[in-house]
Each structure stands twice: as C-alpha cells, then as structure tokens.
Structure 1
Amino acid sequence: MSEVTNTNKPDVALDDVASVGGHQHAHTSRFTPLSIMGIAFAILNSWVAGAASLSVVLVSGGPVAMLWGFLISFVGVMCIAASMAEICAVLPCVGGPYHWTFALAPPKHRIGMAYVTGWLNTAGWICLVATASSLGATFIINIIALFHENYEPQPWHTFVLYVAFSIGGWLVNVFGAKLLDIIGKAVFIWSLSGAVLVCIVCLSCASPEFRSGTDVFGTFVNETGWNNFVAFMLGLLQSTFSLVGTDAVAHLVLEMPRAHVNAPRAMLLAPVLGPLLTIFYQATGSKGGSTALLMFPVICMVGAAIAILTASSRTTQALAADRGIPFSRFFASETKGVNVPVPAITLNTFWVIVFGCVYLGSSAALNAILSASVVLIQLSYAAPIILLLFRGRSLLDQVSFHVGPRHFNLGKFGYVVNAWGVFFAIFTTIFFVFPSEVPVTSTSMNYTVVVAFGVVPLLAGLSWAFHGRKFYNGPRNLDLALEIARRGLTDQDRERGMSGRSGGIVDGLSSEKKEEESV
C-alpha cells in the first residue's frame, strides 16, 4: 500500500492531475471553501424557497405545519445530509449518490442499481433547475402586480421571465465560469443579509400587535378534505422543498480543494443556516416593505438559477461520462477555452425551457415537474444510505480512498442517523404524490406521480434499451476521482494519520475497470 500526499499545494484539485488512467480533464480548482459554502447555501436558500412555497402549507396544516413541520423536515433532511456527508468524506466523487451507490452495492447488482440512481438524481436535478427560474419569474410578476392594480398576469408573461432566468444561468455558467467563485460568495452574503433584514423589518412592522403564541405555534388549518394527519404530511412538502439539494457540492468535488473535507462541511452547514432564519421569518407574517424586501429573494433566485445549473450540469456530465445517456461522448465533453461542460449545461437549459413551454398549456403540469424534483432527488439520496444500512457501516472503511481516521464519522450514532434519514425520505415521498385535496379533480390532481414514476422511468428504460445495455458498465471515472482525492491529501491530513490507499475501492473493482476499458 503506497502513500500519496501533496505537501506543496494544500489547495490542490484537478489542476495538478492533468491525466489519470488515460482520462484527460480540464477542470481547475475554481472554488474556494467559502464559495463552495455559498453555492450550497444559494441552492438551498431555505428562507426564500420556504417563503415562496407558503401556498402549499397554508391550507395543509397552516402555522403548525409551517413551524413544527419545518423542524421535522429539518431533522429528517439533516440526517440525510449527515449520512451523505459521511460517505462523501471517504468517496469524494462527482457523481454523488450515483457513484456512492455503485461503490456500496453488491457486485452482482452494482450496475443496475447505479444506473437507476444516476437517472433519478440527474432527472431530479434538471427538474430542480426549473424551480429557480419559476420562483424568480413569480417574484417579478408579483412586484409588477403590486404596482399595477389592474394588471392581469398571463401565462406567457411568466414564461418570458422564466426563460430569461434560464438563459441568464446558461450565459454565466458558459462564459462566466471564472466568476462562479465570486458569485458563490456574493450570493451567500446577500442571502444571509436579506434574511436578517427581512426578520428585523417584519418584527418592526408587526410591533406591537404580535400574534399570540397560541396562534403562531398551535393553529392548525386543514382545507384539503384529507384527515389532519395526511394534511400535515402534505404540508411538509413546503419545508422539505426548501431544504432539498444538499448533495450539490458533491457534484463539484473535482473543482475544489480538499474535497473530502470541504464538501461534507458545506453539505452539513448549508441546511443549518437557513432553517433558523426561516422559522423566525414564518412566525412574523408581516408584509411591510414588501417590494423592497422582495428584491432580496429575487436576487437570491438569480444566484440559485446559476448555482443549481452548475451542480446539475456536472451531474449530467458524470452520468454521460459513464455512458448512462444517449450521445454520451458529446454530453460528457468539455469545451476548450471556457473549460466547462457546455453540452451538459445546454442540455439542462434545453429541458428547463421545454418545461416552461408545458406551463403555457398547463400550470399543473409544470408544478408536477417542480414537485418531482423533491421526490426524485430524495429517492436517489436514499439508495446509498440503504446500502450502508444493509451491508454494514464498516463498508465505508473498505471503500475509502484513504486509510486512517476519517474527517467525518457518525460513529455510534451512524445507524440511527442513517435509518431515520431513509425513513424520512421514503415516508414523505409517499405523501408527496398524494393529490392536494379531495375529492380529486383535474385541477387538484397531483401529476407528480406521472412525472416521477411514469415519464422518468420511461425515458430511463428507453435509454437503457437503445444505449445503456450496450455501453453502460458503471462509473468509468470513479478511480480517477479517488486518485485525485489521494493526490490532494496534505500535511494536515497526514498529521491526522491519513494516507492514500492504492488500488480499487472494493474487491475486484480494479480488475473490473480494466476489463471495461479493454472492451
């Protein structure tokens, strides 16, 4: 077993590994730890997403679901985030849950399970890209309506703004890649400042006529027709939506220093900062200074549209690099000069605009696509955690890119945290496909089930039938990612007793990769 460390450049990423195993890459360490934190926070933007989706919870639980439901979602999401952070600390791979599933699955089922997880995660992220454009467009429409009482929003008005957000995200990701680090930091500061200012203004405007503690913490509203338990569970969609996307930084590990430390750290901190402010904001309920305050979430959505597209395009590129989608060589490629995956970025933007066209015909259809992002991403999160539970948590030490103590280890709490994270993901997913109210009509019908369990599996199945079964053999660049992590170990890591592990991450993996490359 050889030891691989880097003592000269502690902030090394892929710029020091031009070619490993015959794979050429052009990424550089373009993100600093602070900007990684900023990107993670910009994607979640819990207080903005939570405020924008209040219509979901107002009739499905009301204040009780807003506050207590948020705490339940926070604990559930944090268990998922902690579980993924622990895996990411030993397997910093750009495919995130998709690559982790492959590494943790039994050899016999590895390829099939990885393929399904890859499609769930990729499709979920593409749907999530659309949410930023949709919410941003909605915020602007609301500002226009506020100043023009006779204004009647038309679907095409929203569509134009929606496309503007999408194209803006594409332009920055393609031509402004060098600015992503600065944008990440700026959005982080802007969002935090906005949340604090909104809380202060809301409290000032509400004073001295504050609502009673009973109203804030004990009022339950159910206008859904479902029983109270189901209504409460439906209300969790609002809070869970505001926390989804914690794996974002895992898809950027090849573009940051010390990914095994910085990625897990950002995955844990991003969902912690938002909820504390969100609960405070939701409890006040003030509309004072709405126009000025609304500019904070509008700018946040601009940052989110950029950051989500960055993470989503890397997710698509990872699956394409492994030949998991048609025209994989093209969508896995990077464009010289800008050194970003332009084809993958463009594919994501194309689908987002297609979703916008759907909105012109049916707003319910677009809402289903947006809601499907939560369902698809949560299921992809559950896959590697379930494998960890059933195959044993000691597996993490076997697949780790290094030997020695881990930077993040759940220890004796691991099984409890993993189990609750899986339970939360699966249990809430069941209710998230329920109709919003009963009796069910064409308007109240929840078409999320059609998107998540109909359209996506159909596309994945067709992709497998015509492409995947011939060319897909699992992650082709997993060893590359782990070699990069090994070369990125620093003196600080070595002082902790860490050293690089040579060879494949599981028994037989190295030989399987060699056989794959020879085909």
Structure 2
Amino acid sequence: MANRNASVVSASGKRKSVAQEPVTSVLPGGDIPYDPNHEFNADEEVLAALGYKSEFKREFSLFTTFCVSFAVLGLLPSFASTLFYGMGYAGTAGMTWGWIVAMVGIQCVAMSMAELCSSMPTSGGLYYASAVLAPPGWGPLAAWITGWSNWLGQVTAAPSVDYGVAAMILAAASIQNPDYIPTNYQTFLLTVFIMLIHGVMSSLPTRWLAQINSGGSTFNFIALVIVIILIPAGTNRESRGLPKFTSSSEVWGTIYQGTDFPAGVSVLMSFIGVIWTMSGYDSPFHLAEECSNANIASPRAIVLTSATGGIFGWFLQLVVAYTVVSIDDVLGSDLGQPFAAYLMQCMPQKITLAILALTIIAGFAMGQGCMIAASRVTFAYARDDCFPMSKYWKRVNKLTQTPVNAVWFNCAIGILLVFLIFGGALAVGALFSIGAIAAFVAFTTPIFIRVFFVGNRFRAGPWNLGKFSLPIGITASAFVALMVPILCLPSVTGSDLTPATMNWTCLVYGAPMLGAMIWWFVSAHKWFKGPKVNIEHMMLGRDEAVVEGREAKGTDSGSETAPMDGPSKAAELE
C-alpha cells in the first residue's frame, strides 16, 4: 500500500510506510480515518499520520497548485498596487538592486517553508508545524501566535487586492474622462462588489476552482510577459524630448529620498512592496490536502512560485525603473493610482489603457485566488476550534465539497476592513503592510523553532534542503527579524509626523495580535491545545512509540495531544 513518497525513516534507520508508524486512528467523535473497504493511498496515509481524515478530493496537481499560488502572487497587479512603496520610498535603486537583496531573504523563507510542507502537508500548514516543533508545553502558544498572524495576513489579502483592482478600474475611467475624479465612496462600493463576486466563485467545487485558477494564472503569466515587452517597446519618452531609457547610472545609483530616514533605511522600507508582492507562495501549503502527491508536489509549487515570481518581478521592476519620467508626479497624481499615473507619463493613452486592462483582469484572478487560500486557512483553524462559532466555519459543503461557510466568513470580515478606505490612503495602505508583516511572522515562526529548538532532530519529508537546511533557515529568520520593525516605520519624522502621516501598521496589526494574546492568557490557554492531533506522529524521529493505543513518554509534539484510546492504525491494517 505504501509507496516511496509515503515512506519515512525511523530513528533506528529502518525505512517503513507511514501506515506502519505507531499511530491511532480514532479521531474526535469516534471518527476513524480507516475504512476496511478502502485501501489508503500515499496521500491519505500521510494525512492520517498527521492526525486528520481526508475530507477533500485531491484534484490539484503540481501545475494547478502552482497556478493557484502564482495567481495569489499576482505579480502584475501586486506590483501595480504597491508601486507607491517600492518607488516612493527609495526610487529606482530600491526597485533594481533593492529587489535582488530582498529576494535573497524571501527565497530563504520560501525554501525553509517548503521543507516544512514536505514533512507536514496539511491545510493547517505553518500553524500545525509550529505546534509540532515547539518545545514540550509551548506548542499551543506557538500555534496560537502563528495561526492568528497567518490568518490576519490571509484575511486582508483579498480586500487589499480587490481595493487595488477597483482603484485601477476607476483610474482607467479617469484617463478616459479627465474631468472625472474617483471618490472614496465609489472605490468602496466597487471593491465590495468585486469581493462578493469572488465569494461566489470561491464557493464552487474544487475541480472548477482548479480549472478557473489554471486559466487565471495562465492569463497572469501571459499578461506579465506582454507588459514587460510592451512598456519598453511602446514608450513615447523620445517624443517628449527625453532619451528612450534613463541611464543605468541614474537608475541603479540614485536613491530617491522618499523618507526622512537615511538612504539605506529607505531602501529597506521599500521592501514592503517586494514582501507583499511575494507573500502568496504559501498557498500550496494550505492546499496540500487537495493536492495529489502532496509531500512532493506542494513544496515544489512553493519554491517554483517564489523563484518564478522573483525573476519575472525583477524584470517588471527594471522596465518601469528605466522608463519612469518623474517619481514626484507619479506619487502625487490625481488619478489615485500610481501605476496608472506612471503609464500616462511614458506611454500613449491607448497602450496605457491596454496595460491597465491586462492588470485589472490579472488582479481579478489574483483576488479570487487569495480568497480561496484564505478560506482553507480559516477552515483548518476552525477545525481545531480556534474561532468563536468554529462549528459553522469548519463545515464542508456536501454539494461542492469545499468550505463554503469559511469563504463567506472571510468575505464578511474583508468587507468590514474595506471601510479603511474612508480613513485615507495611509489607513487603507495598512492593509498592504499587515499582509507583509503578518504573513512573514507566520512564515518564519515555525522555521525559527525548527532551526533553534529542533535542529538535526527534525524529520524531513521527501523534499528537503539537506545540509543547507539550517543555514537557510537562519538566514530566513534573520531577514524577517530585521524587516518587521522596518516595515512599521513612518516615512516622516519629527514635527512632520502627524496622525495623517503616521504608519498605522503597528496599530492595525498590533491591536488584533494584542487582543489575541490577551484572549490567550485570560481564557484560551485553558482550552486551546493546538491542532487536534490524536496520534503519535513521531515527527522528530525519536524512538518512543505508542503501543496498543497507550501514549509513550517523551512525545515529540509541542502540542498537548489527546489521549490515545484506540488501537494503532498499523495494528488495524494488520
């Protein structure tokens, strides 16, 4: 029954199937992830050994998982939505060599995450990994922090993307009719309308979702290539008395003083655009329970998404950096969308509208991908009763076999967040900063635990980094530790710092996390025990075992697992 991908190596060095691991098959409510009339495949074995029953159809492949992840990454619309930060804080220098520096840290995070995904391919993803890897007794708290930070990043993704799409649509209307200036009210209504459409689409069956996202991701990639080619080919800078391209010495060597901080800090602050743009590659982790051959295909999709996004994103940064005319005019345009203002500087109107149309369609696909990924995270956390009324959010719709309730729970919260539009550009801009910080704190917490608390005792999956695992994990942890405070800095200091110019990220992200921590110490620590793992998965490869349903001493999981009342799955299979 077991195959190569489902096999693991025990502490004694003997290779065996996950089905032969000393595990229990009795889950909460007497649910048993074993049917004598059904032979477990490799994916079902791995998931059962992690403590869960397969509830989704595995209709995602490496390619379709990559498609969802690349759609969530949404390079073109992400770049368009965050141009204010990438260009506005450090100018073209931050967009060129700054992108390369940021990608070194980001790629380290992605590879370390992929290694965790191969070892623990479950929808809980990072939250599950933190609980398993944390020192004994600390698993629930590690899972709580990781889970809430990751959920904040996920639940803000769709509204921030859809806000960017709405702003681009209204900017295109403004280009067509220069007398029209978009209002906050119109942007809000259009954003909500787009979110409702995405909610309906994300409630469809998995097979349809895979096909829709394959098409959306394909369009995203094609649109990105077209724009990368079209901008340098179609620029009309020469007709405006300028050279076709800005000189390399100016593009690479001039740091635009968009903040009151030293040039080096300004470049680091511009990384918010890179980090937010590149924060969607965790989607394969959350879709692992719907992916076949998940412990190989899902980590490959993570690394492929990050690497592809990094390379093509840099190409897009380059063509914009070499053709922008005036950064000040881009940032101060009445269009309300810096990317549209940039295109108007250096492109004919028809080409500008064509590029905006491609970006809008790509952004629409990206927003839908974000909502799918967020719903899987909400489902996974509700399955472990993390939310109030979790029993509703963890339900899987019998018709579509997807977590429809979780989709609409996230959609409702996203619509409430969109009210930040009425607080001004900096207030709604906090959605992007939250996405960057929340996601990378969640990404790195289990990586930090794995590197500094587990070390060589970590049981890697079939996709792993080998001897480079610890150095790459240390680099990833150091990069995020540096960037979290940097991303909370305001662009101005001293007397210029007012409520209107403050960076509200620390409040909009910090307040919910502070609330979650207060909840933990007041109440949650009494009942939240981390992922409901009812098996001894031996993730760290220790020799202790569970025999005849009795829990052995020295459990490797940081979370407090429930008593193991049933016989081992290996015994049942015998």
Report the counterpart of residue 249 of structure 2 in structure 1: 214
Structure 2 residue 151 is the aligned partner of structure 1 residue 137: no
Report the counterpart of residue 527 of structure 2 in structure 1: 471
Matched length: 491
Q: Matched residues in 2 for 1:44 and 1:359: separation?
A: 23
From the superposition, tell whether residues 421 and 324 of structure 1 become closer, same or farther in structure 2 (CA, over 3 Å): same
Q: Matched residues in 1 for 2:173 and 2:309: separation?
A: 27
Q: Matched residues in 1 for 2:470 and 2:300: separation?
A: 20
Report the counterpart of residue 498 of structure 1 in structure 2: none
Mapping 1:281-300, distance limit 5 Å: 281-285=316-320, 286=323, 287=343, 288=347, 289-300=351-362
Mapping 1:257-406, distance limit 5 Å: 257-285=292-320, 286=323, 287=343, 288=347, 289-397=351-459, 406=461
Q: Matched residues in 2 for 1:97 and 1:5: separation?
A: 24
Report the counterpart of residue 228 of structure 1 in structure 2: 263
Kept in 1, the 8 Å contact 2:534–2:561? The answer is no
Q: Matched residues in 1 for 2:145 and 2:565: separation?
A: 22
- The one-character-per-residue Cα deviations of 1:358-413 (angstroms, maximum 9, x if unpaired) are 3234443222133111111111111111112212432222xx5xxxxx43222222
Q: Matched residues in 2 for 1:116 and 1:156: separation?
A: 35
- The one-character-per-residue Cα deviations of 1:314-343 (angstroms, maximum 9, x if unpaired) are 111111111222112221121211211122
Give the alignment's TM-score, normalised by structure 1: 0.87
Q: Matched residues in 2 for 1:57 and 1:22: separation?
A: 43
Q: Matched residues in 1 for 2:414 and 2:136: separation?
A: 36
Structure 2 residue 504 is the aligned partner of structure 1 residue 447: yes
Q: Matched residues in 2 for 1:391 and 1:250: separation?
A: 22
- Residue 195 of structure 1, CA deviation: 1.3
From the superposition, tell whether residues 25 and 145 of structure 1 become closer, same or farther in structure 2 (CA, over 3 Å): same
Structure 2 residue 486 is the aligned partner of structure 1 residue 431: yes
- Residue 40 of structure 1, CA deviation: 0.8
Kept in 2, the 8 Å contact 1:93–1:478? The answer is no
- The one-character-per-residue Cα deviations of 1:261-293 (angstroms, maximum 9, x if unpaired) are 111001101121123222222222353311111
Q: Matched residues in 2 for 1:455 and 1:339: separation?
A: 31
Report the counterpart of residue 518 of structure 2 in structure 1: 461
* Counterpart code for 1:223: G
- Residue 32 of structure 1, CA deviation: 2.1
Report the counterpart of residue 204 of structure 1 in structure 2: 233
* Counterpart code for 1:513: T
Match of 1:193 among 215, 222, 228: 222
SS at match of 1:56: helix
Kept in 2, the 8 Å contact 1:61–1:235? The answer is yes
SS at match of 1:31: coil
From the superposition, tell whether residues 457 and 512 of structure 1 become closer, same or farther in structure 2 (CA, over 3 Å): closer
Q: Matched residues in 1 for 2:168 and 2:553: separation?
A: 49
Kept in 2, the 8 Å contact 1:115–1:474? The answer is yes
SS at match of 1:151: coil
Where structure 1 has 5 or more consecutive residues not aligned to the other structure, the ranges are 401-405, 486-500
Q: Matched residues in 2 for 1:214 and 1:21: separation?
A: 54
Kept in 2, the 8 Å contact 1:57–1:236? The answer is yes
Kept in 1, the 8 Å contact 2:427–2:504? The answer is yes
Q: Matched residues in 1 for 2:206 and 2:425: separation?
A: 33
Mapping 1:20-99, distance limit 5 Å: 26-99=55-128
Q: Matched residues in 1 for 2:267 and 2:485: separation?
A: 13
Report the counterpart of residue 284 of structure 2 in structure 1: 249
SS at match of 2:270: helix
Mapping 1:144-183, distance limit 5 Å: 144-175=173-204, 177-183=206-212
Q: Matched residues in 2 for 1:506 and 1:189: separation?
A: 51
Report the counterpart of residue 140 of structure 2 in structure 1: 111
SS at match of 1:63: helix
SS at match of 1:433: coil
Report the counterpart of residue 515 of structure 1 in structure 2: 563
- Residue 107 of structure 1, CA deviation: 1.2
- The one-character-per-residue Cα deviations of 1:220-252 (angstroms, maximum 9, x if unpaired) are 110322221221111111111111122111011
Structure 2 residue 267 is the aligned partner of structure 1 residue 238: no
The structure that has the greater radius of gyration is 2
Report the counterpart of residue 471 of structure 2 in structure 1: 416
Report the counterpart of residue 489 of structure 1 in structure 2: none
- The one-character-per-residue Cα deviations of 1:479-511 (angstroms, maximum 9, x if unpaired) are 59x79x9xxxxxxxxxxxxxxx99999942699
Where structure 2 has 5 or more consecutive residues not aligned to the other structure, the ranges are 1-9, 11-15, 21-37, 237-242, 324-342, 540-544, 567-574
Q: Mean Cα displacement is larger for which, 25-34 or 374-383?
A: 25-34
Q: Matched residues in 2 for 1:335 and 1:464: separation?
A: 34
Kept in 1, the 8 Å contact 2:77–2:165? The answer is no
Q: Mean Cα displacement is larger for which, 362-371 or 345-354?
A: 362-371
Kept in 1, the 8 Å contact 2:121–2:295? The answer is yes
Q: Matched residues in 2 for 1:426 and 1:195: separation?
A: 31
Give the aligned CA root-mean-square deviation in angstroms. Answer: 3.1
- The one-character-per-residue Cα deviations of 1:144-174 (angstroms, maximum 9, x if unpaired) are 1110100011111111111122111110111
Kept in 1, the 8 Å contact 2:115–2:299? The answer is yes
- Residue 463 of structure 1, CA deviation: 6.6
Q: Matched residues in 1 for 2:299 and 2:316: separation?
A: 27
From the superposition, tell whether residues 151 and 168 of structure 1 become closer, same or farther in structure 2 (CA, over 3 Å): same
Q: Mean Cα displacement is larger for which, 86-95 or 355-364?
A: 355-364
* Counterpart code for 1:430: P
Q: Matched residues in 2 for 1:506 and 1:339: separation?
A: 38
SS at match of 1:273: helix
Q: Stretches of 4+ moved more than 4 A in 1?
A: 8-14, 16-25, 477-480, 501-507, 509-512
Q: Matched residues in 1 for 2:510 and 2:133: separation?
A: 25
Structure 2 residue 462 is the aligned partner of structure 1 residue 407: yes
* Counterpart code for 1:253: A
From the superposition, tell whether residues 17 and 410 of structure 1 become closer, same or farther in structure 2 (CA, over 3 Å): closer
* Counterpart code for 2:435: S
Q: Percent identical across equivalent pairs?
A: 23
